[in-house]
């Protein structure tokens, strides 16, 4: 039997800083790694695990799957986890009690419903965002769906087949239609909202620059499914395609949104009903078992947990189509806003952000006397990023960053570009501001400040991204 003392997870969580000493857990054992922090070859990010489990972080950084690492860890053992510690009892009356578990590194903007983003610097560590880190944006409790009972319902064109809807099981979707695979970046309209609230408060979750992520998606083409249901390109009644989610609120209202029928049918738009994300079935948070992926279009139209598709002359009447996700003049406030006066957001504008260094960071020059700046850039509507400009003197002088990313077809650049630049370290100053701005293939550029694009809901912030840093002397 073990001679080590027993601790609860709560005990461990109290040791999350150098002052209170740094404890972590691994496979039921407790370690005090305070003395190792300085020695860690992976740097200060080891602190992300302070007070909690190592497993989710080591799942991200494969270098740790190594005997040598476990040998190091063993030296720091101070106890064991109390195995009698039961998980929290499930409260059946709470609509959020059955939600999936999430990665601890995510910055949670709201717990119920669950909304969270990864630290920006982690976004640019991989072209394809690891699924656990992919930002999560839910308006409602995440539904639990039994894949064996699941059916997607598609309304028929008027008058066809006695209006009996087309019902497709998951297996129908996987076997009756060709599988189409695409790499697509999703961005929430509220990405970078916190910079907009800094100008003047807005209503909405406080997203930093992490409400954007990239995945490889696979599924059936929406076009093929609509053709199967009896629609043709020239259906005069067909103007909009509505997507209804299976997530609902207490009143039975479900999440919903729509895109134009033309957007849905045009082969080159590559709209798919996705059942796979990064080679695996969709996770609950990202729309299990089926979601629509509308490349180049705002996240809100990429409806998750898809239950029903309706083709109509009208746009979706959903709250999120009609009374949210729209842009306005900065003069519009909650007393005079007329949501009917603005079109729903579809394609998003050109965007870029700096992911490294982070705001307020103390920076030092590298061996070459340079500073490495990293970020992402993306534009909606399949427009490719053709250039990212970076300044480290607040915009007086500029340099062009180096872009990396998958090769994409003209007009179908659905995925972001990551970028990087080593700039000479500014001399003789104690602090400075880094700026980035991107240019897309239509030569669209980003506005230089937030104030002129401010809107009451805090959407569509694509102003030049500014990061103020101080020099570590
Ligand atoms: C690298 C140990 C926790 C992130 C390494 C390496 C060791 C190590 C030995 C070098 C591996 C090699 O190159 O063969 C440990 C131990 C930990 C710990 C003993 C816990 C007590 C963490 C955590 C994170 C992390 C929590 C992230 C949140 C990294 C990264 C590298 C690394 C990114 C790669 C650095 C590079 O390639 O330059 N770690 N690590 N480590 N570690 Fe950890
Ligand atoms: N679909 C359903 N069913 N319910 C939702 O709340 N949120 C939308 C969209 N689809 C939502 C949804 C919004 S606003 C965004 S930005 C994206 O999903 C986020 O997708 P993700 O959580 O996979 O990142």
Going from N- to C-terminal start, the domains of the chain cover 6-81, 152-341, 351-471
Ligand 2 atom nearest 325 alpha carbon? 14
Q: Name every residue whose Cβ is closer than 8 Å to that of residue 345 and which is 6 or more positions away in sequence.
A: 189, 298, 300, 325, 326, 327, 459, 460
Burial class (CB in 10 A: 0-12, 13-18, 19+), 34: middle
Of all protein residues, whose CA lies closest to atom 41 belonging to ligand 1? 46
Query: What's the gap in Å between 203 CA and the centre of ligand 1?
Result: 40
**Ligand 2 binding pocket includes 139 (Cβ within 6 Å):** yes
CA distance 348 to 299: 9
Q: Sign of dihedral through CA atoms 206, 210, 214, 217? A: negative
**Ligand 2 binding pocket includes 186 (Cβ within 6 Å):** yes
Confirm if 368 and 387 have CB atoms less than 8 A apart.
no
State the average pLDDT for the chain.
95
Sheet containing 77-81: order of strands: 6-7, 77-81, 29-32, 21-26, 16-17
Both tokens assigned to 223: 């076009």
Confirm if 205 and 193 have CB atoms less than 8 A apart.
yes
DSSP helix/strand/coil, 25: strand
Query: What's the gap in Å between 242 CA and the centre of ligand 2?
Result: 15
Identify whether 331 is a catalytic site residue.
Answer: no
**Ligand 2 binding pocket includes 138 (Cβ within 6 Å):** yes
Question: Which of these is catalytic: 7, 15, 26, 64?
Answer: 64
Query: What's the gap in Å between 60 CA and the centre of ligand 1?
Result: 10
Ligand 1 atom nearest 72 alpha carbon? 19
Question: CB neighbours (10 Å) of residue 27?
Answer: 11
**Ligand 2 binding pocket includes 303 (Cβ within 6 Å):** yes
Both tokens assigned to 25: 């857990």
Query: What's the gap in Å between 255 CA and the centre of ligand 2?
Result: 9
Both tokens assigned to 372: 């490495």
Question: Which of these is catalytic: 7, 15, 150, 188?
Answer: 188
Q: Sign of dihedral through CA atoms 129, 131, 133, 134? A: positive
Query: What's the gap in Å between 424 CA and the centre of ligand 2?
Result: 41
Q: CA of 393: how far to CAs of 45, 70, 113, 388, in Å?
A: 28, 45, 41, 16
Query: What's the gap in Å between 42 CA and the centre of ligand 1?
Result: 4
Look at residue 1 in the predicted model and tell me its pLDDT: 67
* Domain 152-341 listed as CATH 3.90.420.10: yes
Identify whether 286 is a catalytic site residue.
Answer: no
Question: Which of these is catalytic: 325, 383, 436, 457?
Answer: 325
Confirm if 222 and 260 have CB atoms less than 8 A apart.
no
Look at residue 143 in the predicted model and tell me its pLDDT: 94
Q: What is the CATH number of domain 351-471?
A: 2.60.40.650
**Residue ranges of the chain with pLDDT lower than 70?**
1, 85-90, 159-162
Geometric angle at alpha carbon 337, from 445 and 350, rounded to 5° = 15
Instruction: From 45, 56, 63, 104, give the residue whose CB has the most ligand 1 atoms within 8 Å, as the site to mutate.
Output: 63
Instruction: From 26, 46, 50, 51, give the residue whose CB has the most ligand 1 atoms within 8 Å, as the site to mutate.
Output: 46
Geometric angle at alpha carbon 428, from 423 and 430, rounded to 5° = 90
Confirm if 26 and 53 have CB atoms less than 8 A apart.
yes
Query: What's the gap in Å between 53 CA and the centre of ligand 1?
Result: 14
Instruction: From 129, 145, 188, 309, give the residue whose CB has the most ligand 2 atoms within 8 Å, as the site to mutate.
Output: 188
Both tokens assigned to 304: 């998750």
Both tokens assigned to 231: 């629609």
Question: Which of these is catalytic: 7, 26, 137, 240?
Answer: 137
For domain 6-81, give its CATH number from 1.10.540.10, 1.25.40.10, 3.10.120.10, 3.40.50.720. 3.10.120.10
Of all protein residues, whose CA lies closest to atom 34 belonging to ligand 1? 42
Look at residue 163 in the predicted model and tell me its pLDDT: 74
CA distance 216 to 277: 6
Of all protein residues, whose CA lies closest to atom 26 belonging to ligand 1? 46
Look at residue 87 in the predicted model and tell me its pLDDT: 59
Identify whether 40 is a catalytic site residue.
Answer: yes
CA distance 47 to 210: 20
Task: Quickly count helices (H) and strands (E) in the chain.
Answer: 9, 27
Identify whether 188 is a catalytic site residue.
Answer: yes
Buried b (16+ CB within 10 A) or exposed e, 411-427: ebbbbbbbbbbebebbe
Instruction: Give the tens place of pLDDT for each residue, 24-39.
Output: 999 999 999 999 999 9
Interface confidence: ipTM more than 0.85: yes
Identify whether 221 is a catalytic site residue.
Answer: no
Look at residue 60 in the predicted model and tell me its pLDDT: 85
CA distance 11 to 464: 44
What are 399's strand-pairing partners? 390
Both tokens assigned to 139: 């308006």
pTM of this structure: 0.91
Q: Name every residue whose Cβ is closer than 8 Å to that of residue 443 and which is 6 or more positions away in sequence.
A: none
Sheet containing 351-356: order of strands: 351-356, 370-378, 417-424, 402-404
Buried b (16+ CB within 10 A) or exposed e, 262-280: ebbbeeebbbbbbbbbbee
Q: Which residue ranges have their beta carbon within 6 Å of ligand 1?
A: 24, 33, 36, 40-42, 45-46, 48-49, 54, 57, 61, 63-64, 66, 69, 72-73
Measured from the alpha carbon of residue 212, the closest ligand is: 2
């Amino acid at each position: 039997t073990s001679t080590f003392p027993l601790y609860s997870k709560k005990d461990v969580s109290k040791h999350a800083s150098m002052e209170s000493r740094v404890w972590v857990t691994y496979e039921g054992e407790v370690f005090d790694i305070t003395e190792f922090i300085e020695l860690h070859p992976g740097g200060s990010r080891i602190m992300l695990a302070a007070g909690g489990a190592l497993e989710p972080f080591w799942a991200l950084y494969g270098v740790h799957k190594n005997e040598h690492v476990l040998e190091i860890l063993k030296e720091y053992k101070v106890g064991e986890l109390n195995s009698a510690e039961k998980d929290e009892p499930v409260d059946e009356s709470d609509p959020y009690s059955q939600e999936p578990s999430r990665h601890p590194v995510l910055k949670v903007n709201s717990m119920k419903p669950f909304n969270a983003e990864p630290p920006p610097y982690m976004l640019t560590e991989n072209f394809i965002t690891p699924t656990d880190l992919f930002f999560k944006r839910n308006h409602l409790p995440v539904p639990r769906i039994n894949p064996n009972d699941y059916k997607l319902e598609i309304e028929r064109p008027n008058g066809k087949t006695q209006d009996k809807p087309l019902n497709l099981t998951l297996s129908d979707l996987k076997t009756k239609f060709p599988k189409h695979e695409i790499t697509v970046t999703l961005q929430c309209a509220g990405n970078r909202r916190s910079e907009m609230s800094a100008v003047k408060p807005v209503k909405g979750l406080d997203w930093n620059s992490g409400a954007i992520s990239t995945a490889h998606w696979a599924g059936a083409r929406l076009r093929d499914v609509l053709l199967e249901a009896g629609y043709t390109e020239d259906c005069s009644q067909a103007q909009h395609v509505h997507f209804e989610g299976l997530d609902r609120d207490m009143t039975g209202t479900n999440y919903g949104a729509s895109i134009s029928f033309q957007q849905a049918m045009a082969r080159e738009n590559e709209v798919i009903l996705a059942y796979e994300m990064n080679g695996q079935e969709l996770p609950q948070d990202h729309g299990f078992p089926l979601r629509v992926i509308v490349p180049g279009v705002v996240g809100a139209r990429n409806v998750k947990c898809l239950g029903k598709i309706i083709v109509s002359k009208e746009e979706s009447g959903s709250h999120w189509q009609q009374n949210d996700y729209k842009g306005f003049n900065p003069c519009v406030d909650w007393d005079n806003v007329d949501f009917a006066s603005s079109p729903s957001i579809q394609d998003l504008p050109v965007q870029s952000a700096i992911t490294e260094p982070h705001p307020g960071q103390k920076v030092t020059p590298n061996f070459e006397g340079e500073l490495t700046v990293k970020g992402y850039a993306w534009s909606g509507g399949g427009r490719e990023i053709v250039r990212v400009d970076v300044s480290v003197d607040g915009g007086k002088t500029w340099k062009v960053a180096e872009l990396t990313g998958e090769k994409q077809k003209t007009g179908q650049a659905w995925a972001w570009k990551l970028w990087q630049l080593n700039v000479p370290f500014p001399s003789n100053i104690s602090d400075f501001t880094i700026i980035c701005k991107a240019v897309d293939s239509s030569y669209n550029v980003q506005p230089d400040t937030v104030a002129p694009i401010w809107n009451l809901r805090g959407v569509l912030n694509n102003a030049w991204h500014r990061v103020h840093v101080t020099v570590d002397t």
